[in-house]
Structure 1
Amino acid sequence: MNWIEYEQNAELKGYKAICGVDEAGRGPLAGPVCAAAVILPPNTIIDGVNDSKKLTEKKREALFNVIKETAVSYCIAYASVEEIESINILNATMLAMKRAVEGLDVKADYAMIDGNKMPPLDIDGETIVKGDAKSMSIACASILAKVSRDRLLYEYAKEYPQYQFDKHKGYGTAAHREAIIKYGPCPYHRMSFLTKILK
């Protein structure tokens, strides 16, 4: 498999600063959605990088710093629980991706977006379904987004230990649902996601 095929194709079209973009946290019942954008040096393959969902937490944590050190530029951005509630999770995800791309300190001229929907960017780009398993830049972005969001949920767990955010990272596990029913929601919960639980 060629991990840099998409990057190389964009380079052949004349683009110079190609960023991979992915998000973490669309599905959870709590916490923000996080997106990352990563520009790698041309033809770079980082050993061990894969779709973040296929890696252990320990492996993701180890790669987090390697990716940051290797990247030409990277940016990690969020859309808040309030924004998710206000504009819905899809639009909030697009907003977080837009913030990540626009927050790069080296301006990207091409964006490869994981999934099938393009955020509103002022540069060219393409969407790649399952891009985190096909493109090195997107896979790196998926790791940065996942690790950053997980770290945030560990902080929430210290503040609200009864929900065990450190265990499920806000996803709707049985234990998490039971805690919501028992204790009610906290300020980090997405109320629009809880309608079936809090009937």
Structure 2
Amino acid sequence: MGNSAKRGFLVVVEGVDGAGKSTVLRHLAAHCKDRGRLVISSREPTDGPHGRRLRETAVHGRLPLEAELELFMLDRRAHVAELITPGLQRDAVVLLDRYYFSTAAYQGARGADPEAVLQMNEEFAPVPDLVLLLDCAPSLSLERILTRGGGVDAFEKMEALEAVRNIFLSLNRPCIRVVDASGTPERVAGACVVLVEELLAARLN
């Protein structure tokens, strides 16, 4: 799906768990609001029925690959129809914590073809104006996950994190910008704010 029908901005923050996505999203939302922009923040999987099911399986046992992919697609179709597209049509800055790039990376690590997953999603999902891919070593990701008191679920084991990271870095889309996420949360967020500000300024010009 192209971007010609939308007026707002779609900005996605991606990366393995522990990369600092939540902190970046908070800073981006505050910055865009300070600029006078309408901001809509969301996440995937969503809190809808399909998204809740996916979150449960991450803790209690993964579904077969095809069933898991189908749930992600159902969740995303609803997300696009109910929040993302309406938000863009309202000229909002739509900020997402994960999108179909995560599906390509995580399900790709299970054996799906990442490029095929991207193309399948791009048939119906708006292509982002900017994807901020937060990149750091899996060892640092795990350290952060454990420091914040979180458990390590099936998505977060060291081998899985390494495989997912490598797929993320292999994704070839012009909207992706890789951001070094090994620094302090404030430094990483600051780098992301600069990239978003460049996007906003370019559209105004």
Fold shared by both chains (TM-score > 0.5): no
- Structure of larger gyration radius: 1
Q: TM-score, normalised by structure 2?
A: 0.31
Larger RCO: 1 or 2 (CA < 8 Å, sep 6+): 2
Q: TM-score, normalised by structure 1?
A: 0.32
